[in-house]
Amino acid sequence: MGITRIHTQSVGYLMSLKKLLRDTTSNLMVKKWKSIEKEDIVSIEDSMLPEVLRIQAEGFKNASPKKLIRYSKNSRNIFYVMKSKSKIVGYCIYYLKPTLSLKGFEKNSVVSSIATDRNFRGMGFAERLLRSSIEEMKINGISAVLLYVNVNNLPAIKLYKKIGFREIKQVKNICGQNESCYEMELRLV
């Protein structure tokens, strides 16, 4: 076995261990999650999945139903669904990302996916969903909220800036193969 192959395997094992540790810590943080009462915004329930998957597919060409279903089971407390007159009009999924910094241990969250039914866009639902879930993030000691948005998705970028997110950097291949997106951050503390 060559030294390059050994190095590659070692890096792969370390990356897997790092992901496992982050996921385990994240799951522990979610179990202790404090929810707040939110009008028309609820945590995901299994019966809602078909409608949420439909909204995801209509909003994202590279949608990952398996990932969304996994989040609905593991991160139910931070998987928000917006309703209007008992109809699901949008959703927002976060995952928690514990981070070590010079200040010590920080709890950050990342918006994994957010979408609104195409028939309800431009009515303020996404803004209400984000603002409400961010308030709950504050109560739970989250230091910052991160998200990634395609550089061409101008309505979403405008919304995120209105809420207070700022562009950190431009990155490739996170929003899709060969696509550029902005990493944006909203500091909460």
More confident residue, 15 or 114: 114
Averaged pLDDT, 125-143: 94
pLDDT at 2: 66
More confident residue, 11 or 51: 51
pLDDT-derived band at 11 (thresholds 50, 70, 90) equals low
Contacts of the segment 95-103: beta carbons below 8 A, 24+ positions apart: 95/26, 95/71, 96/25, 96/26, 96/29, 96/30, 96/142, 97/22, 97/26, 97/146, 98/22, 98/25, 98/26, 98/29
Buried b (16+ CB within 10 A) or exposed e, 112-129: bbbbbbeebeeeebbebb
The CATH T-level fold of domain 33-187 is Aminopeptidase (3.40.630)
Which residues partner with 90 through β-bridges?
82, 116
pLDDT at 82 over 90: yes
pLDDT at 29: 60
* Under 8 Å between Cβ of 84 and 40: yes
Residue 12 in tokens:
């792969």
pLDDT at 20: 53
pLDDT-derived band at 24 (thresholds 50, 70, 90) equals low
Q: What is the pLDDT of residues 137-154, one digit of tens each?
A: 999 999 999 999 999 999
- Note if the pTM is more than 0.85: no
Residue 162 in tokens:
């209105």
pLDDT at 5: 67
Q: Residue ranges per domain, the chain?
A: 33-187
